[in-house]
Amino acid sequence: MKNLVGERATLAAFLMTIFLAGFNGLGVRLTVEELPPFWGAVLRFVPAFLILAGIAAIKRLPLPSGRNLLGAVLYGVLNFGANYSFLYWGLQKVQAGTAGIFLALVPLFTLIFAVAQRLEPFRLRALFGSLLSLAGIAVIYGAKGPANAPLAALLAITLGSVCFAEAGLLIKRFPGSHPVTTNMIGMAVGSVILFLMSMLFHEPHPVPVKATTWGALIYLILFGSCAIFILTVYVLNRWPASTVSYSFVIFPFIGIAASAWLDHEKFTPWVFVGAVLVVAGVYFGSLRASQKRAVEGSPAD
């Protein structure tokens, strides 16, 4: 009975992560319309860090130490520093719906890295799924055209998905820390990296003026950072990393709907064809083989 309740709680956290994260791309897109990308990321993660630090202090949560501290720092470098440097820069030129489609490659990257690091066995269908997803990416890029989706920006989004994938595996290598303190340290480390990137690129550091920018920032701080990453680490401590990464398969559809509704992003039928190919590739490459594990809530690999 206890295992069943725990599995339902994990599944609920997983589904909530999918829903909240589906709007993140649009939130970032709205902030970079007014703010320089790296500075916009700093304004997101510094307040989120302070909120998590307050929660940790009130609840007297123990800070990671030793090997777990190293894991939290590496998680911050990869998940918040490198990852969001790529995503915020890319989302200046790529609308949220399209970016979400490229982030759907995260499960395949996760599986490839897990196999390379001997965390999961190799599966031949993963190769087929990878080729199918790459075909979908080619269709999407051809449909949108260089003027709408520059290759450099799409590459940045793809590199962001690579960082997402490896960050999830890092959590599996350094388990045991509390989700709040892990993300608190990670956001602190990532904020320093993002601020240094902002200084390196000589960005101005304005205070937002537009109401839409403030609304997007508030969402990204409270829900898109604090809530999502706490839930993600919670689930990662209970499910395999490749299973958790399947949430990125659903993001494109939420992102497309949100971007079309709020950012007036227009899609040709070929974009939807490409999205279907990407999702199909991810499904056959990694999701199908692990559905049973997800239902059973198998322990970490």
pLDDT at 54: 96
pLDDT at 124: 75
- The band of 194, judged by pLDDT with boundaries at 50, 70 and 90, is very high
pLDDT at 248: 75
Residue pLDDT, tens place only, 177-193: 788 999 999 999 999 99
Q: Is the pLDDT of residue 298 over 70?
A: no
Q: Is the pLDDT of residue 8 over 60?
A: yes
301 located within any domain: no
Give the domain range for residue 190: 2-296
25 located within any domain: yes
pLDDT at 294: 44
pLDDT at 125: 73
**Which of 98-107, 239-248, 279-288 has the highest mean predicted lDDT (pLDDT)?**
98-107
pTM for the whole thing? 0.78
Q: Mean pLDDT, to the nearest integer, of 255-284?
A: 72
143 located within any domain: yes
Q: Are 91 and 161 in contact (CB under 8 A)?
A: no
Mean pLDDT, the chain, whole residue set: 82
Quote the CA–CA distance of 224 and 248 in Å, as a whole number: 14
**Which of 102-116, 191-205, 224-238, 250-264 has the highest mean predicted lDDT (pLDDT)?**
191-205
Quote the CA–CA distance of 165 and 179 in Å, as a whole number: 18
Q: Are 104 and 200 in contact (CB under 8 A)?
A: no
Residue pLDDT, tens place only, 127-185: 777 778 778 777 776 665 544 668 899 899 999 999 989 998 888 887 767 889 999 99
Query: Which position has the token pair 């790296």?
Result: 38
Residue pLDDT, tens place only, 96-120: 777 877 887 887 788 888 888 887 7
Quote the CA–CA distance of 229 and 161 in Å, as a whole number: 15
Q: Is the pLDDT of residue 222 over 80?
A: yes
CA dihedral (281, 90, 77, 63) in degrees, to 10, reads -90
Tally the domains of the chain: 1
- 39, two tokens: 């500075």
